[in-house]
Amino acid sequence: MSADMIDIKAVRSDFPALNQKVYGKDLIYLDNAATTHKPLSVMDRLVDFYSTINSNVHRGSHYLSTEASIAYEGARESVRKFINAARPDEIIFTGGTTESINLAASSFGRAFVKEGDRILTTLMEHHSNIVPWQRLCGEKGAELKVIPIDDGGNLKIDEFKELITKKTKLVAFTYVSSVLGTVNPVREISRIAHENDIPVLVDGAQAPQHLPVDVRNLDCDFFAFSGHKVYAGTGIGVLYGKKRWLDAMEPYQSGGGMITSVSFESTSYEETPLKFEAGTGNIAGALGLESAIEYLNKIGIEKIAAYEKSLTEYALKKLQEVEGIRIYGSSKERCGVISFNLKGVHHHDLGTVLDKLGIAVRTGKLCAEPLMEYYGISGTVRVSFALYNTKKEVDTLIEGIEKARHVLQAG
Ligand code: PLP
């Protein structure tokens, strides 16, 4: 697939936030792993919802509520197709990846994890895919074990196999590392886990904006992602779960919208997905997510993947030429993200100099403290790409880094 097939000029004109100056400089936004900017169609969808069918869903019998409920379920169906789930009731709307993983840890944990059991995660996880499992293990008297990585930032699959015991209840791991850019072999990990009757949860926060996701092909049992990282708004996300697991799990939160009957003696619950969607959700956000998916589909996720691959390769090549740079992670399968440090320069200082040049990057521990500890560093600079970034922006980034290097290394 040719990477030139995206009309970048047209794409960039869809994102008003890209077209602004900061400190008098053209904004170069390279913090897309934290959150992406939004196309007009997503923003228009929110305005349209609040201007017309704004209403609660699955509650009222009036016109607006019926229309809002139809639209909301339509958005669920669009998410189903986007990740190729088998059924719409396998799609739970949440507030984002963090809430999705907390839901899974709480409800799966309550149903299936007991004292002496084991949960596996990996060294390259975001805190969102560590802390909920750590808390669950603490509450249950279970143990959290960590799959190690090699220096290139690849999971050690042989050591993963050795960590599996009869008491292992779940493997929770990221699809794409938000620090190293490593794309993990989800199918292989799922296969190994399933051979041992262990389900897998995939933290997909950094995946569907960069590569096609097919949960049936990956054969994962759970898949979590955030709307705001796939060009939709904040406060909306998804937990996909295979129906047989969701049916066997207890609700996460409880209240309105998730019950069939309540008395002071007992309560019966809706079927999935409503059983996991207590209270009023982010209805407009779900519609915005649908519009973001439509936007991605219009361009084509394969084309986006090819475009971003060539951009990332270009950036890697240019960065490697910078004197004194150390790039973390060298996996062959990577996308979207490059983290690095400059010899003798604090990551925060470099980030500050770049910021003043209008270049937005992320600095610090990147919500991955155990990984920072592994590399023996207090943090990194991270650049992360979206479909609207360009090679010209990479060139300006490199110029900025060179400027910063001269100023900061001299000082
Ligand atoms: N997992 C990964 C790999 C991430 O990169 C992030 C956010 O950066 C999260 C989880 C948490 O996502 P959110 O803050 O949208 O819940």
Q: Indicate the pLDDT class of residue 408, thresholds 50, 70 and 90.
A: confident
Span from the CA of 267 to the centroid of ligand 1 (angstroms): 34
Q: Indicate the pLDDT class of residue 27, thresholds 50, 70 and 90.
A: very high
User: Does the predicted model carry a pTM greater than 0.95?
Assistant: yes
Q: Is 120 helix (H, G, I), strand (E, B) or coil?
A: strand
Number of domains into which the chain is organized: 2
Same domain, 233 and 329: no
Q: Which of 297, 327, 352 is the last residue of a domain?
A: 297
Find the CATH number of the domain harbouring 156. 3.40.640.10
pLDDT average, residue stretch 234-260: 97
Q: Whose CA is nearest to atom 5 of ligand 1?
A: 178
pLDDT digits (tens, 9 = 90+) for 136-160: 999 999 999 999 999 899 999 999 9
Same domain, 340 and 290: no
Q: Whose CA is nearest to atom 4 of ligand 1?
A: 205
The domain in which residue 216 lies consists of 43-297
Span from the CA of 30 to the centroid of ligand 1 (angstroms): 16
Same domain, 287 and 362: no
Give the integer Cα–Cα distance in Å for 121 and 173. 6
Task: Determine the residue type at 193.
Answer: A
Residue 87 has pLDDT above 70, yes or no: yes
Looking only at the bridges linking them, the beta strands covering 337-342 and 359-360 are unpaired
pLDDT at residue number 409: 77
Same domain, 226 and 203: yes
pLDDT digits (tens, 9 = 90+) for 370-394: 999 999 999 999 999 999 999 999 9
Same domain, 229 and 351: no
Any ligand 1 atom below 6 A from CB of 96: yes
Residue 336 has pLDDT above 80, yes or no: yes
Any ligand 1 atom below 6 A from CB of 203: yes
pLDDT average, residue stretch 50-61: 92
pLDDT average, residue stretch 349-365: 97
Best of 32, 97, 125 to mutate for ligand 1, by most ligand atoms within 8 A of CB?
Answer: 97
Active site residues: 367
Residue 370 inside a domain? The answer is yes
pLDDT at residue number 196: 98
Nearest to 330, CA basis, from 344, 345, 317: 317
Residue 189 has pLDDT above 80, yes or no: yes
pLDDT at residue number 411: 60
Average pLDDT, the chain: 96
Residue 410 has pLDDT above 80, yes or no: no
pLDDT digits (tens, 9 = 90+) for 158-175: 999 999 999 999 999 999
Find the CATH number of the domain harbouring 397. 3.90.1150.10
Residue 3 has pLDDT above 60, yes or no: no
Query: CA–CA distance from 255 to each of 70, 162, 212, 268 (Å)?
Result: 22, 42, 35, 11
Question: What is the number of the ligand 1 atom nearest to the C-alpha of 98?
Answer: 16
pLDDT average, residue stretch 85-109: 98
Span from the CA of 201 to the centroid of ligand 1 (angstroms): 14
Span from the CA of 178 to the centroid of ligand 1 (angstroms): 8
pLDDT at residue number 1: 47
Residue whose tokens read 């004194």? 324
DSSP letter string over 8-30? HHHHHHT-GGGS-EETTEE-EE-
Q: Is 402 helix (H, G, I), strand (E, B) or coil?
A: helix
Best of 103, 125, 178 to mutate for ligand 1, by most ligand atoms within 8 A of CB?
Answer: 178
Task: Enumerate the β-bridge partners of residue 80.
Answer: none
Same domain, 102 and 159: yes
Residue 302 has pLDDT above 50, yes or no: yes
Span from the CA of 262 to the centroid of ligand 1 (angstroms): 35
Any ligand 1 atom below 6 A from CB of 210: no
The residue length of the chain stands at 411
